[in-house]
Amino acid sequence: MNLSNHIPILIIAIPLLAAFLVPLIGRINKKATGILTTLALSVSLIFTIALAVKILTVGPQVYVFGATSPSLTLPSGLKFPIRIMLQIDAMSIFMGLITAVISFFGAIYSLSFIKKYDGVDKYYSLLLLLTVGMFGMEFTGDIFNFFVFLEIASIASVALISFRGVDYGEPAEAGFKYMMVSSISALMVLFAVGIFYGQYDLLNFAAIASMIKYSQLDKIALGLLIPVLAMKAGAVPMHMWTPDAYSEAPAPITMILVAASQASLYALFRIVFSLYNISLNALTVGWIIIIFGLLSMFIGVTMAIVQKDIKRLMAYHAVSQTGYMLLGVGVGLAVLANPVALQKYGITAMEGGIFHIMNHAMYKGLLFLTAGALFFRTGTRDLNKMGGLAHYMKYTTIFFIIGAAAIAGLPPFNGFASKLLIYESVYRFNPLLSIIAMVVSILTLASFVKVFHSAFLGPKLPQFKEVKEVPRSMVFAMAVLSCIIIFFGLFPDLIVKNLVHPAVMSLIEQLQYTGTVLGGM
Amino acid sequence: MLGLLETGSGFWSAIIWIVLVLVIGSIVIYIRNKGEDSYKKNTEQDKPFISGNPEESKESSHLSANHIYWGFTEALKGYYNPLVKMHTGNINDYSSWIIMLTVIILIVIGVSG
Amino acid sequence: MIGNLPYIAVAIFIGLGIYTLMFKKNLIKIAIGVCLIENGVNLFLITLGYKKGAIAPIYTQAPSGQAMVLPTPQALTLTSIVIGIATTALILSVAMMIYKHYGTLDTDQVRRLRG
């Protein structure tokens, strides 16, 4: 049995197995639960890096469940695939790398953060299930399988958001709102799956993509899928669950929830680009996504300036940065049918948007971890009550400065590289969009200067006299994320040439996607 | 090795930027250090000038988060008041926004393709 | 016309579910609304597999020339019903936690997180 053929399913299966072992081990020894979680997620991380190297050198890979060999997509005598399969190309493994890194560091950070709560073994089990759901959403090649993994991720994240709901009321309220919103979205996705099945009698992404004719029912399915998946990603005007859910969850879970929202964004791009491609009216749908992006950017950042709760402020910034990704990819979609414009600036706009996904996961994760460190030591999230903490928590201050400079788009960090790609290419499409994006960037810097001044600067306050630095596992997680941010900022061309550009090309070229499954038909 | 990122209309290199900042910064610091050095240290001439008013303590002059950017929010009050009122926190409103937006997008895609 | 009756029922279910989510004030009624939408979508999935004059797909050695109803949407619906159980159980237990801390189930008062 050649192990390297089975890596895709092992990435999903090992955290799933660990998720069910953790409560059993929790009965014997409480500390072993955290260590088992970290081990399982590190194995997933190593396998994901190995798979990324293989896909970027050899080509996209398919893994069929239940066949005699993992790449037997078409059973004998049939012209279309009938088994469930995982289909991994450059865009999927890009998102998979983000998920693996973020959940691994979330687990390391939780080793010290979650120690004083009850029910720690259930927390780790749910964290592993959330990771399984995210990996499944990103790797699957089957549209109903996508629905199942979407529901797994939603249910696990609701239980994690209301983790502190035993003692306080607000996490339960945030969990209820998130559950209702994600139920509506998952059921509408299932309705669209039903529409596709009723028309084509197929459930496989590549098979539907090769046979799609843009009939009236397909328009209804597209019109259902776009707002619902944009809502799961946190686009305005359906963004109101984002500050509630992100502020009440424990800090490492907020970081993993950011990656889960980006998995829904990946699903939106996959459906619009690989399933429909040129058969839809690219200009209309592109402008719809651009308008989502503009509204998210502007309303997200203006609501963020007036907040008093530090995690609510950062959650509004997450909404605003999602707008950048939607803007970049929307411009790429709007010129998809126009090959001259696509070569000139469409591909660069999509590179900017997709590079921004990875940058955003890194620096937003770092910022949420620093907010969690402040909450861990001071017990409050209210900016009015904090002050002068830079005297006591020196490492946290340095990591916060790096994160805030990255999100505001200051050189030489990685936020500047992806924002520059978006500004320069969107300007050639329509100058007004680029100007709004730059104004939003200035307001982002303004609100983080506000947070830095209220929480870290100022004289020493007497009520924080015993505040020390946070424990070592939390500092380790924040330090590695900062190193990744600095590395991406100094050498952005390595990442863009090797990871982002193949991802963009695999989204634009639909024939490569269907050819992997259907054998070049 | 230089970390050159090619955008469609130019390039960006973080390493060249850092080297330039260090070079220009050192020139600026060198010019600044050639300044006036005939003042008496640790006397009145060293403190900031506040027109003879008594200096307030640091604790009492630290702005809390509610009052930062007061001018900005006050000037844009016509935009902020309806916006903050729309974020009611009521769960029926969350689902109303989703359903209204789905209907609008279905109509737009159905009509124009 | 009579063959379209299940689709009309689907539309009525989903319409009633959306109405409940948008206008009813009690948290338990909102949970029931989510259940209504889910029932509507499950009914839609099963109705898609129907063929005129066909029998249930439960034979291993079927009589020849006999059409069977499509079995794949039945498998999809079973998965969806199981997911619906987990969703409903979780929504109701979170509603119980809200009642314990807030003392009320009215959406106009369960609004501490706003702005």
Domain ranges of chain C: 2-52+70-102
- Tell me, what's the pLDDT at A521? 45
Residue A448 near chain B (CB below 8 Å)? no
- Tell me, what's the pLDDT at A72? 74
| Total-model pTM | 0.94
Phi first, then psi, for residue B109 (nearest 5°) are -70, -35
For Cα atoms A386, A391, A392, give the angle at the middle one, nearest 5 degrees. 80
- What is the distance in angstroms between the Cα of C22 and the nearest Cα belonging to chain B? 5
Asked whether A415 and A404 are in contact (CB, 8 A), the reply is: no
Which of A148, A165, A197 minimises the CB distance to C48?
Answer: A197
Residue C51 near chain B (CB below 8 Å)? no
Render pLDDT for A334-347 as a digit per residue (tens, 0 to 9). 998 888 888 888 89
Instruction: Describe the crossing of helices C72-102 and A170-200 by its angle, rounded to 10 degrees.
Output: 170
Render pLDDT for A376-416 as a digit per residue (tens, 0 to 9). 998 888 888 888 888 888 999 999 999 999 999 998 899 99
For residue C114, list chain B residues with Cβ-Cβ distance below 8 A.
Answer: 87-90
pLDDT confidence tier of residue A520, bands split at 50, 70 and 90: low
For residue B17, list chain A residues with Cβ-Cβ distance below 8 A.
Answer: 411-412
What is the rounded average pLDDT of the residues C59-70?
Answer: 80
The residue of chain B nearest to residue C109, with distances taken between CA atoms, is B90
> How high does pLDDT run on average in chain C?
90
Decide if C18 and B92 are in contact by the 8 Å CB cutoff: no
Domain ranges of chain A: 1-275, 281-490
Render pLDDT for C80-109 as a digit per residue (tens, 0 to 9). 999 999 999 999 999 999 999 999 999 998
Which of C38, C72, C113 minimises the CB distance to A173?
Answer: C113
Decide if B88 and C112 are in contact by the 8 Å CB cutoff: no
CA A198, A200, A206, A207 torsion-angle sign: positive
In this predicted structure, the answer to whether residue A319 has a pLDDT above a threshold of 60 is yes
Q: Subunits with at least 3 CB pairs below 8 A relative to chain C?
A: A, B
In this predicted structure, the answer to whether residue A308 has a pLDDT above a threshold of 70 is yes
In this predicted structure, the answer to whether residue B101 has a pLDDT above a threshold of 60 is yes
Q: Which CATH class is domain C2-52+70-102?
A: mainly alpha
In this predicted structure, the answer to whether residue A242 has a pLDDT above a threshold of 90 is yes
- What is the distance in angstroms between the Cα of B17 and the nearest Cα belonging to chain C? 41
For residue C19, list chain B residues with Cβ-Cβ distance below 8 A.
Answer: none
Render pLDDT for A77-127 as a digit per residue (tens, 0 to 9). 677 788 888 999 999 999 999 999 999 999 999 999 988 888 899 999 999
End-to-end CA distance of chain B: 47
Asked whether C55 and C87 are in contact (CB, 8 A), the reply is: no
Residue B52 near chain A (CB below 8 Å)? no
Render pLDDT for B39-97 as a digit per residue (tens, 0 to 9). 777 776 667 777 878 777 777 777 888 888 888 989 999 999 999 998 888 999 999 99
pLDDT confidence tier of residue A138, bands split at 50, 70 and 90: very high
Residue B80 near chain A (CB below 8 Å)? yes
- What is the distance in angstroms between the Cα of B85 and the nearest Cα belonging to chain A? 11
- Tell me, what's the pLDDT at A1? 59
C-alpha distances (whole Å) from A426 to each of A105, A336, A486 are 34, 14, 26
DSSP one-letter string for A211-228: H----HHHHHHHHHHHHH
Higher-pLDDT residue of B59, A268: A268
ipTM for the predicted complex: 0.95
Chain B and chain C share a number of CB contacts under 8 A equal to: 30
Residue A298 near chain B (CB below 8 Å)? no
Residue C110 near chain B (CB below 8 Å)? yes
Asked whether A318 and A364 are in contact (CB, 8 A), the reply is: yes
CA A77, A78, A82, A87 torsion-angle sign: positive
Decide if C94 and A247 are in contact by the 8 Å CB cutoff: no
For residue B5, list chain A residues with Cβ-Cβ distance below 8 A.
Answer: 417, 420-421, 492-493, 496
Instruction: Describe the crossing of helices A501-508 and A510-518 by its angle, rounded to 10 degrees.
Output: 80
Higher-pLDDT residue of A70, A162: A162
| DSSP H helix total and E strand total for chain C | 3, 0
